[in-house]
Chain A
């Protein structure tokens, strides 16, 4: 009998859910009971909704357990490892029988995430075992020219996964063609969209894939230095990157004469960013690496011509880099077989919001949004009505439920007014107020604006003020027109993507949910019952039992009524905190 292997999902999501204790429990078991199983940490398995996850791999196959804690771990050990009896009730995935969670995996094609949840990201050997560093090896040993490799990337149809969707091969070609001795490659790991965690998971789960991608990129454009610009809020990702870089250096994948290739020198370091959203913009990111304030500048010149320290520079995002080695190893044709005509390959999405199966998925381009939400995502929490999905974070827009047949490719998504973005997918149900949602994203971009351009700095502030006013019931009829006018002006008059896209959430909600705006402004009503100043809380006399719980919990003591008598809410004093609604056991509080 082969040795049993137990993997613990040890990315940030797992750790947050308690993977640490599970891992320690397993360690204790191994130490105390002299149990003979291999224990290792791995990256994000994707099923964030089932964390902590452990996977037991024995002769018969792989068994993924979800929602484990210390007791369940013990139970799984006792039953599965010792007695070879898998614990069915905790199983979320196994090849042996249906668990009900299969849909989450069925449509996924894992290319960028190929090693996440499979290997121990802190062990270079495991990466190499799965074919890691063979792509760059192949290039250098087979002596593929820079042009040849660039052509392969072109042929794969890979487009920038950071959101821009620009052809990666073309971008490399620009940098390759730029004259100059010193060139740079940069990995943009400044993931900043609220609700997005693709890059973090990838870096935590498979840092070498990114490093190898960058080595290939560096070879192609002729760079000898690379920088991974990672936000400091991702300490685990930074730690694993640094370990990986160190290991790659030891193995000779970084440094001088890589793979014995004369004059191919390349090394890299991790630059921690201070977590400014705008630093995801190429020129701001470069400024930040240079030690300046993260402020975008006008392009052209593009970084491919004048980037870091005014040298030709190629910047790609984490997912883009991670795809590269796979493409080289498996051939561009194989990559291009997935996807649509203009959007090839796969895309990683972070599912969040009011969805049952929140987590990380990688799907082929061309899948519909509906399929992602209802098949992979398991539908809406609590059986509520699906209302819309926000794609592309604060720079993106919402796609309403009636457009959920939209397929995932750059052009189809753009046509709705949203953008593909880096893969954040926030699902909203009937209890989401779209004005409030637009306000949330605008508040975010407004605060994250670098403050440079007039329209972005002041214009978004003025738009936000209008949205706040609307959600407070103080909206004016002309506000919608002003919002639309300002939106257009901000888009037209901003230097960087942050400003140019900041109005998108407002524009798309105005496009698809204009009636909600009108309800707020004209009827002074929030249809989703979210905007507190527009709500009235009243006691439903028929249901009230006079239990006094609401009155006791009211922070302003505005609920009166004797025990066993019907209670009454003083509207003047009510601050609309909703406490009475939450506390009432008899559903006797009505919100209008």
Chain B
């Protein structure tokens, strides 16, 4: 590699020959955006977002595919480059008919992530839902009752036939109530104290919110409230039948518990002077609301018994006295929610007749429709198109009647509502006892003189409407350090609007206190379908099932003559979950991860800059796991290319030309009808959500936590990154570990994670009594096991440990069997009687990363893309990038990798084929004697036995012509970089021995990019062998006949003698009733049996069966005692992959079980008075101490026949079995 001198952004730098500008820039810390490039793929250069300017080159250069050259002068950041990138994004966005964010969130004044919290409620994660809401709205329980719900109006569910939006507010209330009720309700983190103090004037929703946000930043917030109790209009304006006071108190407590102080009965300008505030506090936030009610505004409205509606409501709250309206007639003027509160309260005060006088029609009423509906149920009468013109008094100056005119609707006014105009000669009088005016409020800034007297560097002003004059963007007032938000700034508005303003004012206040510039500049690019066209019913109706809204249970109308809360809340979690099902999930699942959105934001791209025709596609849900939404596609072709270059499936392609181009599954209508392998690699590379995981739950999207661990599905040992919300797994990505360096993973972890969310985990020990399982305690379970073991002969016990167990667990199981139970009856169903050939077949294998250097790759039976797909990707890449020749040799007519091969050879016996190859090589003296003499043992014996067999009989048995076989043998021998890959799943242990012999005869084993790769089935199949889960070998796979080894074991295990090695077959022992107790750790022989009947007969001949597993597998269901088990990432430990890489992983999330796996094994050890272990590291130390110190030479073993004793599928792992069932059944729907 030569060095290349280039000038990058004005600086001379040294690049590496062959490097792209993109890679060079990255190395030197310049981020170049790209949408079509994935380091796993060859450069494509279609998006033109990664362009840079190179001197003396025409136009812009896509940096992903422009290789650096000596003397290049590159500019990656010039204005011209930036403009070009923006234009590319503008163009892409002009045909990106998709929503980043759902209309509910877009419409919410406070920007609450509705879709996100609905998804959390769906999963029963109520506190997490509340945590999400409280990022922008600290009063969810209150808003869940009184919010005006613009979100529900915007909700697209309205477009469907049911005509009601999702019950967003009801759901919020449900979650908020659940959270408040719980002992562990949501609390935000509070930053360490900054030492700053803030005075907040007014304890209404604005003041409470400001305190909530600012206290979290570490500032001490003190609220000064003029009224006797905090809450503002929530308490004094909204009647209790809608919003109970104790609920207000509970929710306020979630704010005061952060350290916020509330001082009541203190009013600025009266018993509190700004001078004190100025001297004591670092900043002030004024959130006094709009407290002064306005009267009807007609002649005579000074009459007695004419009130402003809010005074009426407030007086009652302050005095705790209910007005006595018995037998009276009351009229409320106005059409908003305050009018509703007044009329419904009047009913509750016993009024005979309650009118609502409104000058327009019901359609124009700003009040919540539900309020209108309920008020009518309660007996309120409506006088629409009616307007009071005069209040008539009696002689005492008391209200007698009101004169009204009838109105007609004319032309629309500025608000878009039709303006009411009086009808001539329509005056009429209505006799009344009380008249309540609910037509508006005013800000009452009585402190203005006080504040201006003491303020420095500025003054506090009111605007022409009499509201506080504050910067609408930052909510700064004329006085530095004084901010104001809520109704007192905007005039009477909504709770949620006040909360929003308070949050921005808090942000400004925080900036002020921390000496930052006070700005509220935040550009986030949001793609909207509405930018393209109005959303219509027909766009959605065919896509969603009809589902009526879960209505809010209410008090019977006849039970409402009191102030008991009318709305009762959803009765249970099921109802809430069902309602979440109505959410159409309009917002994009890739909201947090989309590269297009990220760069559009970064470059301030505009969706409508180049607006024009756009493409609209149906979303393709036909594949159960992979969703294709062409609307979001930017045609970068990454999915097509990864499927071709890395997977080799070629399942996707471009269709049409020009603007009409789109990505679609090849030929067919659905991915399921193509050569798609459902690996999800397309999902992993899509920069948007055009190809995404079709999830079985509502993804939100919500922000998740992540952890990395080792995959527990197959023996490749990929590193995974799990995403979760409080233990609920939401997705898996490849993390780029020791094995899967480029982050590739296959379908098993990609889609298999959702099984782990299964609610039906075994969490406690259960014992079968009278055919039914009952819970027992762990000590009881352990005692039972002890008594079972000790009541029989040692060899009447047998222990099975599976290949999903960690090395440490496996080690402990065999140690327990050999020391506590005193038997060598320890094995796994996975390898039950499957022979020695699997013990050493991974020695000197070709490391995976050397597959890339191979020139010939032979898949010997292995359906690598199905069983060990990530290794399969390496094979495909060797083929695609380096042109390696791929040959499949199989006995299977329908081999599922054959279509990718350059050559397919069908044979009838793997064993005979390999023996014939070995026979040919030796008999023609083509063996590598130097290698054999130097590095192996047993060749002479092997070759003499082999040469006694008849070559032509072998050929006949193998079902292969002599020419073909010899061509294969010579090619394999002569092409240095030949790699033969096989899977234990298809190759019996005897054949495995013969393949090992081939590796030694040709002298390839252990050479670079040459030799054998043996693929084991399960995550820790290798560990099962290495940890001594075998009657005849101990840890390190050392024979228990080895005296030196026995001595070391005895010393380490602190015992005098190891149990005797028996030569019997455990299968025979079980079948012949010689086993009394069966202990099965993490295996599911019943569920995985090839012959279920035989397996059941074998297993349940014994007296007592104990199973430890994660789920109630068929074996667990049939057992007597079942112990809980944690998943690997809930426990920690290590796995040894099929290449003998030992990978440790830690406990990452807390399992719902009552015990840990090591805890149970320790418990067993303890019952027998044996050594226990604090943690996995202790176990590991002991394992290392017992392992053999030196490696023995690989041995030639001659086998006379094949011996295919496959009793169990899926490596006898119940979870893999479940996964396969889940996966396959998903396609049958």
Contacts and interface: CB of A to CB of B under 8 A. Distances in A.
A448 B67 CA distance: 29
B51 A450 contact: no
Contacts of B637: 452
Contact of B91 (A278, A458, A492, A500): A458
B754 interface: no
B596 to A, nearest CB: 11
A489 B84 CA distance: 7
A458 B48 contact: no
A493 B48 contact: yes
A491 B59 contact: yes
A295 B654 contact: yes
Interface in B44-88: 44-49, 51, 58-60, 62, 65-67, 84, 87-88
A278 B62 CA distance: 20
A553 interface: no
Interface stretch (A167-175, A459-467, A530-538): A459-467
B88 A493 contact: yes
Given A298-B45, A458-B92, A489 B656 contact: no
B560 to A, nearest CB: 60
A458 B657 contact: no
Contacts of B67: 300
Nearest to A466: B612
Interface in A481-540: 486, 489, 491-495, 500
A446 interface: yes
Contact of A454 (B46, B59, B612): B46
B802 to A, nearest CB: 46
A314 interface: no
27 contacts: A293-B653, A293-B654, A297-B45, A298-B62, A300-B67, A447-B657, A448-B658, A450-B658, A452-B637, A454-B49, A454-B88, A455-B48, A455-B87, A455-B88, A457-B635, A457-B661, A458-B94, A460-B659, A461-B612, A461-B613, A462-B91, A491-B59, A492-B59, A493-B60, A493-B87, A493-B88, A494-B48
Interface string A422-465: 00000000000000000000000011111111110111111001
A297 B44 CA distance: 7
Give the residue among B62, B94, B656, B659 with the most A Cβ atoms within 10 A.
B659
A447 B660 CA distance: 8
Given A455-B91, A493-B51, 9 more contacts: A278-B657, A298-B62, A298-B65, A447-B658, A451-B657, A455-B88, A489-B87, A493-B59, A494-B59
Contacts of A455: 48, 87-88, 91
A293 B84 CA distance: 28
B1222 interface: no
Contacts of B91: 454-455, 458-459, 462
Given A461-B613, A462-B612, A493-B84, A451 B656 contact: yes
Nearest to B635: A451
Residue among B59, B91, B610, B634 with max Cβ neighbours from chain A (10 Å): B91
Contacts of A452: 44, 46, 635, 637
Nearest to A482: B610
A57 interface: no
Contacts of B60: 492-493
B481 interface: no
A293 B653 CA distance: 9
Contacts of B48: 453-455, 493-494
Interface string B140-172: 000000000000000000000000000000000
B657 A449 contact: yes
A460 B94 CA distance: 13
B1009 interface: no
A546 to B, nearest CB: 45
A446 B635 contact: no
A352 interface: no
Contacts of A447: 657-658
A449 B62 contact: no
B95 interface: yes
B569 interface: no
Interface residues of A, number: 32
Given A451-B635, A491-B59, A492-B84, A457 B658 contact: yes
B658 A461 contact: yes
Nearest to A310: B883
A449 B65 contact: no
Nearest to B654: A293
A494 B44 CA distance: 12
B43 interface: yes
A311 B792 CA distance: 75
Contacts of A458: 91-92, 94-95, 610, 659
Interface in A80-114: none
A495 B45 contact: yes
B612 A465 contact: yes
B658 A451 contact: yes
Contacts of B66: 298
Nearest to A276: B657
Interface string B87-109: 11001101100000000000000
A298 B46 CA distance: 9
A260 to B, nearest CB: 35
Contacts of B84: 489, 492-493
Interface in B417-433: none
- Identify the 5 closest CB pairs spanning chains A and B, nearest first: A451-B661, A492-B59, A458-B91, A461-B659, A298-B65
Interface in A218-276: 276
Contacts of B62: 298, 495
Nearest to A495: B45
Interface in B600-659: 610, 612-613, 634-635, 637, 653-654, 656-659
A449 B612 CA distance: 18
A398 B659 CA distance: 25
A500 B57 CA distance: 14
Contacts of B58: 492
Contacts of A295: 654
A489 B51 CA distance: 12
A454 B658 contact: no
Contacts of B88: 454-455, 493
B255 to A, nearest CB: 50
A458 B87 CA distance: 11
Contacts of B653: 293
A446 B659 contact: yes
Contacts of B613: 461, 465
A462 B94 contact: yes
A448 B87 CA distance: 22
Nearest to B48: A493
Contacts of A457: 635, 658-659, 661
Contacts of B659: 446, 449, 451, 457-458, 460-461
A454 B92 contact: yes
Nearest to A488: B59
Contacts of A495: 45-46, 62
Interface in B497-525: none
A450 B58 CA distance: 22
Contacts of B634: 454
Contacts of B49: 454
Contacts of B44: 297, 452
Nearest to A491: B59
Nearest to B653: A293
Nearest to A443: B658
Contacts of A293: 653-654
A449 B659 CA distance: 8
A492 B54 CA distance: 12
A446 B658 contact: yes
A459 B65 CA distance: 21
Nearest to B659: A461
A449 B46 contact: no
Nearest to A485: B87
Nearest to A450: B657
A448 B657 contact: yes
Contacts of B95: 458
Interface in A268-318: 276, 278, 293, 295, 297-298, 300
